[in-house]
Amino acid sequence: QVNSWWSNLSEGQRTVTGIIAANVFVLCLWRLPGMRRIMFTYFTSDPSSKALCSPMLLSTFSHFSLFHMAANMYVLWSFSSSIVSLLGCEQFMAVYLSAGVISTFVSYVAKMVTGRFEPSLGASGAIMTVLAAVCTKMPEAKLAIIFLPMFTFTAGNALKAIIAFDTAGLALGWRLFDHAAHLGGALFGMWYVTYGHELIWKNREPLVKAWHEMRTKNSGKGGG
């Protein structure tokens, strides 16, 4: 049954399964009292913390609330097939991990400017990159909110609304979300699918081809 379920998944869904599993594992670590100090130090991003670099990536996989994690992972799962079909597995993973670091860096800058040194965590910044990339490449695609499936809107309009909301939140000092991280992730996603793929990924095409050839040879040996 597990094999059947796995075989019916799209390539994108299989790719994000590992990301979801990592988020679930980190959520479990938050429930261990002896891990609290380590989790706050390395799995939350705060420019006033003694650890600055590693949390930029690790906080992308960190959620304290089950609802927060479930909401983020649902959005990632929903867009997984589209983003992997656009970028491929390797490029998607590179973009996703980079998006986590870049969105956290933008959050750092905003916190330094405003003087609000509050810890942040969650995959929202990286997921905003995924959402913005898909909406930029497929602006006419129809989207709907899970709780209001009867109302549909285009991906292009959804992206504009999200950017407007986070811009207003950042300007007005709202603290419901890390609006700076959301904006950083969204702008990175828009830039990457418009220019970044040509400037960055295509220069690494020989490396990716060598990786695929090596992987193909290894799978062939296993089959023999």
Query: Which residues have a catalytic role annotated?
Result: 124, 182
Task: Write the CA distances from 15 to 12, 64, 85, 98, 216, integer angstroms.
Answer: 5, 23, 11, 16, 18
Task: Decide: helix, strand or coil at residue 122.
Answer: coil
Residue 120: CB atoms within 10 Å: 21
CA–CA separation, 59 vs 122, rounded Å? 6
What distance in Å separates the CA atoms of residue 43 and residue 141, rounded to the nearest whole number? 35
Instruction: Using the Cα atoms of residue 44, residue 112, residue 128 and residue 67 in order, give the sign of their dihedral.
Output: positive
Alpha helices in 9-154 (DSSP H): 11-30, 36-42, 54-58, 66-87, 89-114, 124-137
Extract the tokens encoding 187: 């702008």
